[in-house]
Amino acid sequence: MALFFDQTWFDAQLAERHLRRADLGAMLGLDETGIGEVWKDQRELKAADVSLIAALLNLSPAEIAHRAGISTPVPVEASGVERRLAAIEAKLDEILRRLG
Protein backbone atom coordinates (compact mmCIF):
# COMPACT_ATOMS: atom_id res chain seq x y z
CA MET A 1 0.00 0.00 0.00
CA ALA A 2 1.25 3.47 -0.83
CA LEU A 3 1.55 5.79 2.12
CA PHE A 4 0.80 9.49 2.07
CA PHE A 5 -1.18 9.83 -1.18
CA ASP A 6 -1.46 13.60 -1.66
CA GLN A 7 -5.24 13.90 -2.20
CA THR A 8 -5.29 17.69 -2.17
CA TRP A 9 -2.55 17.97 -4.80
CA PHE A 10 -4.16 15.41 -7.12
CA ASP A 11 -7.59 17.03 -6.75
CA ALA A 12 -6.04 20.42 -7.60
CA GLN A 13 -4.25 18.99 -10.66
CA LEU A 14 -7.48 17.43 -11.91
CA ALA A 15 -9.47 20.62 -11.25
CA GLU A 16 -6.95 22.72 -13.20
CA ARG A 17 -7.68 20.51 -16.19
CA HIS A 18 -11.45 20.43 -15.61
CA LEU A 19 -11.31 16.72 -14.81
CA ARG A 20 -12.85 14.69 -12.03
CA ARG A 21 -11.65 11.66 -10.08
CA ALA A 22 -14.12 9.60 -12.11
CA ASP A 23 -12.38 10.69 -15.33
CA LEU A 24 -9.04 9.51 -13.98
CA GLY A 25 -10.64 6.31 -12.72
CA ALA A 26 -12.08 5.58 -16.15
CA MET A 27 -8.68 6.09 -17.73
CA LEU A 28 -7.15 3.66 -15.24
CA GLY A 29 -10.01 1.19 -15.60
CA LEU A 30 -11.22 1.78 -12.05
CA ASP A 31 -14.78 2.34 -10.91
CA GLU A 32 -15.74 4.89 -8.26
CA THR A 33 -14.82 2.49 -5.46
CA GLY A 34 -11.45 1.70 -7.01
CA ILE A 35 -10.41 5.32 -7.51
CA GLY A 36 -11.66 6.08 -3.99
CA GLU A 37 -9.32 3.37 -2.68
CA VAL A 38 -6.41 5.05 -4.46
CA TRP A 39 -7.33 8.38 -2.83
CA LYS A 40 -7.53 6.72 0.61
CA ASP A 41 -4.17 4.88 0.29
CA GLN A 42 -5.97 1.54 0.12
CA ARG A 43 -4.89 0.74 -3.46
CA GLU A 44 -1.38 1.16 -4.78
CA LEU A 45 -0.71 2.52 -8.24
CA LYS A 46 1.37 0.45 -10.64
CA ALA A 47 4.16 1.92 -12.75
CA ALA A 48 1.85 1.78 -15.79
CA ASP A 49 -0.79 3.78 -13.86
CA VAL A 50 1.83 6.38 -12.98
CA SER A 51 2.76 6.70 -16.65
CA LEU A 52 -0.88 7.20 -17.67
CA ILE A 53 -1.51 9.80 -14.99
CA ALA A 54 1.69 11.65 -15.90
CA ALA A 55 0.60 11.77 -19.54
CA LEU A 56 -2.90 12.97 -18.60
CA LEU A 57 -1.62 15.70 -16.30
CA ASN A 58 1.37 16.54 -18.50
CA LEU A 59 3.74 16.07 -15.57
CA SER A 60 6.75 13.84 -15.00
CA PRO A 61 6.21 10.26 -13.83
CA ALA A 62 8.62 11.00 -10.96
CA GLU A 63 6.36 13.84 -9.72
CA ILE A 64 3.28 11.62 -9.92
CA ALA A 65 5.00 8.77 -8.06
CA HIS A 66 6.28 11.17 -5.40
CA ARG A 67 2.81 12.62 -4.81
CA ALA A 68 1.14 9.18 -4.91
CA GLY A 69 3.03 7.87 -1.91
CA ILE A 70 6.21 6.39 -0.57
CA SER A 71 6.11 2.98 -2.23
CA THR A 72 4.73 4.08 -5.61
CA PRO A 73 7.02 2.87 -8.40
CA VAL A 74 8.53 5.34 -10.84
CA PRO A 75 8.25 3.89 -14.33
CA VAL A 76 11.42 3.47 -16.34
CA GLU A 77 11.64 4.12 -20.07
CA ALA A 78 10.60 0.83 -21.63
CA SER A 79 12.04 -0.82 -24.69
CA GLY A 80 9.76 -1.70 -27.59
CA VAL A 81 9.22 -5.23 -26.27
CA GLU A 82 8.49 -3.96 -22.76
CA ARG A 83 5.96 -1.45 -24.12
CA ARG A 84 4.23 -4.18 -26.12
CA LEU A 85 4.18 -6.46 -23.07
CA ALA A 86 2.75 -3.65 -20.91
CA ALA A 87 0.02 -3.03 -23.51
CA ILE A 88 -0.83 -6.75 -23.58
CA GLU A 89 -0.94 -6.87 -19.78
CA ALA A 90 -3.20 -3.81 -19.66
CA LYS A 91 -5.59 -5.41 -22.15
CA LEU A 92 -5.57 -8.65 -20.15
CA ASP A 93 -6.32 -6.71 -16.96
CA GLU A 94 -9.22 -5.00 -18.74
CA ILE A 95 -10.61 -8.33 -19.97
CA LEU A 96 -10.32 -9.88 -16.51
CA ARG A 97 -12.08 -6.87 -14.91
CA ARG A 98 -14.94 -7.21 -17.38
CA LEU A 99 -15.26 -10.92 -16.66
CA GLY A 100 -14.92 -10.38 -12.91
pTM of the model: 0.71
pLDDT of residue 4: 87
Give the model confidence (pLDDT) of 41-58 as tens digits.
899 899 989 999 998 999
pLDDT of residue 64: 93
- The string of DSSP letters for 44-93 reads PPPHHHHHHHHHHHT--HHHHHHHH-TTPPPPPPPPHHHHHHHHHHHHHH
Question: Per residue of the chain (100 residues), what is the pLDDT tens digit?
Answer: 446 899 999 999 999 999 999 999 999 999 999 999 999 989 989 998 999 999 899 999 999 999 998 778 787 766 677 777 777 888 888 888 888 7
pLDDT of residue 40: 92
pLDDT of residue 70: 78
Domains of the chain: 7-99 (1.10.260.40)
pLDDT of residue 15: 96
